Amino acid sequence: MGTLESETVVVTGASRGLGASMAVRFAREGANVVLTARSVDELEEVADRAGGETLVVPADVTDEAAVAGVVSAAREAYGPVTGLVNNAGIGQLSMGGELRPLHEVDVADLRRILEVNVVGVHLLSAAVVPDMCEAGRGNVVNVSSGLGRRASTGWGPYVASKWALEGLTRTQAMELEAEGVNVNAIDPGGRVETGFWDHLPAAERREILDPDVMDEAVTRLLAQGPDGVTGESLTAEEWERRLA
């Protein structure tokens, strides 16, 4: 297993939660870390906490021109991107809404969730994969969910987005395997301390995982060489065992 020393990694949704925790870890592992999300102030706070080599590039992952700007800034600062963590994601609860059966879901909410959780992943991946193919190496890690493998009442739009993400992951892995580029998905393995769960009572919140739950597993995934594991979707714990 390699290291992240001098790797250039883009992390979306890096302003808080899982994304912020991973970005800090990657910087401390020696990577050049490009942090992107919509909130520049929060991104800068994460960069300050990380130390190391970081670059803050605010962007909306659904904006194709903004995504191109993130990748262009990364190349200008550090050279080609070698790692991508598609972490940005939203759901009804994080949007300030509530869980609803599908026939009651606002179409605008459905579209926004699919735009961020699926189209955003496509835009970032499409922007960095050509450089990875040219280099003959690279790692794309898509942050999925247990709801990418099962259904749950009230969560229709989010479930649909994560099932789509699982399919995109496996398809792109097949397409890029011969190019030396690994594409995998990771599920935290439970509820994580994010805005999704602010509505839960205190008793249930005790079961929520810390935001660093995926740090070790994703670090190992990004350190893989061209012959690494690809096309898999596992929980953080399962990935740690797989890549031990």
pLDDT of residue 205: 47
Q: pTM higher than 0.85 for the full model?
A: yes
Q: Is residue 142 part of a domain?
A: yes
CATH of the domain at 201: 3.40.50.720
What single-letter amino acid sits at 145? S
Torsion-angle region of 171 (φ positive above 0: left; ψ -120 to 50: alpha; else: beta): alpha
Q: Is residue 51 part of a domain?
A: yes
Contact 57, 74 (CB under 8 A): yes
Q: Is 158 a catalytic residue?
A: yes
Residues with Cβ within 8 Å of 71's Cβ and at least 6 positions away in sequence, in order, are 10, 81, 124, 127, 128
Count of domains for the chain: 1
The Cβ of residue 229 has, within 10 Å, a number of other Cβ atoms equal to: 16
Digit-by-digit pLDDT tens for the chain (244 residues) are 578 999 999 999 999 999 999 999 999 999 999 999 999 999 999 999 998 999 999 999 999 999 999 999 999 999 999 999 999 999 988 887 788 999 999 999 999 999 999 999 999 999 999 999 999 999 999 999 999 999 999 999 999 999 999 999 999 999 999 999 999 999 998 766 555 555 555 555 456 678 899 999 999 999 999 999 999 999 999 999 999 9
Q: Is residue 70 part of a domain?
A: yes
Q: Is residue 3 part of a domain?
A: no
* Catalytic residue (one of 26, 155, 158, 196): 158
Q: Is residue 1 part of a domain?
A: no
Q: Is 136 exposed, middle or buried (0-12, 13-18, 19+ CB in 10 A)?
A: exposed
Contact 132, 81 (CB under 8 A): yes
Structural domain span for residue 46:
8-242
CA 192 to chain centre: 14
- What DSSP string runs through 170-206? HHHHHHHGGGTEEEEEEE-SS-BSSGGGTTS-HHHHT
